[in-house]
Amino acid sequence: MPQKHLRVKLLAHTPDPEKTCALAARTCYSAADVDALSALVQEKDQSKFLKGVIASGHLSVLEHASFTFSIEGVSRALLAQVTRHRIASFSVQSQRYVSLAEGFGYIIPDRIQALGEDAVAEFEQQMATMQKWYVEWQDKLGKGEGSNEDARFVLPNACETHITMTMNARELLHFFSLRCCNRAQWEIRAMAREMLKLCKQVSPVIFESAGPGCLNGPCPEGAKSCGQAREMREYFRDMK
């Protein structure tokens, strides 16, 4: 099967996420009942109030808004990284139940593609060889999930997978601070930036200052900084 390319789609999110988070915050600071607070939130723009709440560091209220993404065209190598973010829910295409006997998609790193057509052809041949090994082991092990389960051990990290992932807004801010950074691995960085673009469309106030740590202070990478804080601030400021 051919090389696969990244595709990120926002499947669902909390309706009116900013109003939901603003209502949660007002619950903390008001003696009014929920009906009165709901009316206030609906009648009056909550942007200024919510920005103040976020600036104060009262981020727990952002946990009331969740976002669910479909992610395709990413590698099993990326899967090993993204699942380290534990305050999230993941559903992943199973190599145990889904047979790849007809072929598997794969991700070709940009640095390999930059080496030219011969390097890409060599990489593709290696993928074809692993596909052949996979089918051979399926045949030896017999058909069914048991054969898939063990034959998959010869599949590469480059093998494509599909993920459905849900995070709340607070965890997304943390995720973006780490994975949008220039020092993040290239594949998860590209995915994180596509996710952030979608979040900004739905909830511009919550994600106004979202991005790598250098956007809101000194680079947290210290001596390992990429040295491009100014360029990063411009990039994420203009992101749409």
Catalytic residues: 179
* CB contact at 8 A, 211 and 236: yes
56, two tokens: 């104060």
* CB contact at 8 A, 106 and 187: no
- 3 state SS of 150: helix
126, two tokens: 């290696």
* CB contact at 8 A, 205 and 49: no
Number of H helices, E strands in the chain: 10, 4
DSSP 152-208: GGG--TTBEEEEEEEEEHHHHHHHHHHHSSTTS-HHHHHHHHHHHHHHHHH-TTTTT
For residue 198, report the phi and psi dihedrals to the nearest 5 degrees: -65, -40
From residue 36, how far is each of 20, 24, 45, 119 by CA, in Å?
Answer: 14, 13, 15, 65
* CB contact at 8 A, 66 and 169: yes
